[in-house]
């Protein structure tokens, strides 16, 4: 077991060479949103930029995409017909993923799940999409519920799952909340090994494991119970993957950066903390 420290920032953000071009530091696709939730993919996307990815493309049902595009000129949002993800969108998702991979010369990642809902067709479409791609993916929120239905889609793929403690039970784990840290670590490691994937489990101490190695992050604050704090962590993870980090580095790095940014924001705002305060604090952590 290794404790995550600020030294991980040196691995994730080495000095840049004198000359770079667009996409050298990645392209992140964000697939999420629905007729009700539009904020989640927007938070993921804005966080990705703050975490150092060069470009973000959002793919969402039309209402969500239109709202997201109106937030800021930073966000490019592609609208899908309908109120939620449907099987008819599958070919578009795969085509856009391959296009993103090509234009970025392979420096691409996907973040999927936030605000998508859990209708039968949406969940099945998520699973089919994940089964057909082979790029680094952060699986969060509603996409975790989807893969819990068909866990075999995970094995051997470059996927990072970011469950909370309840979502860990959906993936076959025990409820780790009553456990001491040492037992929590063993349980997360066992679930990751069984699923043949990488987990970054969000709790008081975030636990990251690929079934072999384990990293524990102690950064964070009790004020991070707010809606959107998981989206910001997913956005950081996606940015790090697109920039070329390993799955373990992205899991540990996103936990550390999100936790430290949350600590800084909580000192200022306490009970008034909102997710955008975390985003605004990221530069102070990685700068």
Q: Within the chain, which residues score under 50 in pLDDT?
A: none
The domain spanning residue 210 has which CATH number?
A: 3.40.1190.20
Q: Is 277 exposed, middle or buried (0-12, 13-18, 19+ CB in 10 A)?
A: buried
The structural domain count of the chain equals 1
According to DSSP, the residues that pair with 217 across neighbouring strands are 206
Phi and psi torsions of 201, nearest 5°: -85, 125
Question: How large is the C-alpha radius of gyration of the chain?
Answer: 17
Q: Which domain holds residue 212?
A: 2-13+22-286
Phi and psi torsions of 4, nearest 5°: -75, 130
Query: What is the DSSP-derived secondary structure letter of residue 31?
Result: E
Give percent helix, percent strand, percent coil of the chain, each to the nearest 5.
Answer: 50, 15, 35
Q: Is 199 left (phi over 0), alpha (psi -120 to 50) or beta?
A: beta
What's the pLDDT score for residue 151? Answer: 98
266-275's contacts with Cβ under 8 Å and 24+ in sequence apart are 266/221, 266/222, 266/223, 266/224, 269/223, 270/223, 271/223, 273/223, 273/224, 273/226, 274/226, 274/228, 275/43, 275/226, 275/227, 275/228, 275/229, 275/231, 275/232
What's the pLDDT score for residue 35? Answer: 87
What's the pLDDT score for residue 45? Answer: 98
Evaluate whether 30 touches 42 at the Cβ level (below 8 Å): no
E-state strands within the chain: 2-3, 27-31, 55-61, 76-80, 108-112, 137-139, 159-161, 198-201, 206-209, 214-217
What's the pLDDT score for residue 216? Answer: 98
According to DSSP, the residues that pair with 35 across neighbouring strands are none
| The two three-digit tokens of residue 30, written as one number | 């964000």
What's the pLDDT score for residue 275? Answer: 98
């Amino acid at each position: 077991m290794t404790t995550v420290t600020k030294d991980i920032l040196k691995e994730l953000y080495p000095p840049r060479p004198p000359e770079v071009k667009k996409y050298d530091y990645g392209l992140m696709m964000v697939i999420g949103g629905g007729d009700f939730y539009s904020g989640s993919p927007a938070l993921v996307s804005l966080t990705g930029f703050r975490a150092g990815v060069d470009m973000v493309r959002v793919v969402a049902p039309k209402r969500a995409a239109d709202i997201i595009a109106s937030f800021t000129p930073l966000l490019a949002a592609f609208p899908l017909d309908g109120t939620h993800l449907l099987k008819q969108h599958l070919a578009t998702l795969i085509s856009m993923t391959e296009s993103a991979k090509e234009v970025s010369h392979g420096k691409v990642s996907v973040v999927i799940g936030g605000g998508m809902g859990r209708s039968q067709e949406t969940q099945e479409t998520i699973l089919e999409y994940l089964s057909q791609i082979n790029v680094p993916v952060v699986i969060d929120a509603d996409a975790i519920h989807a893969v819990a239905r068909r866990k075999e889609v995970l094995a051997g793929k470059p996927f990072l799952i970011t469950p909370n403690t309840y979502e860990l039970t959906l993936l076959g784990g025990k409820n780790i909340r009553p456990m001491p840290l040492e037992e929590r670590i063993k349980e997360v490691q066992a679930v990751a090994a069984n699923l043949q994937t990488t987990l970054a489990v969000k709790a008081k101490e975030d636990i990251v494991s690929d079934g072999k190695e384990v990293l524990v992050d102690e950064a964070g604050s009790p004020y991070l119970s707010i809606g959107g704090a998981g989206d910001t962590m997913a956005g950081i993870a996606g940015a790090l993957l697109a920039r070329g980090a390993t799955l373990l580095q992205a899991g540990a790095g996103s936990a550390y950066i999100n936790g430290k940014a949350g600590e800084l924001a909580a000192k200022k705002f306490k009970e008034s903390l909102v997710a955008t305060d975390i985003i605004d604090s990221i530069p102070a952590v990685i700068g």
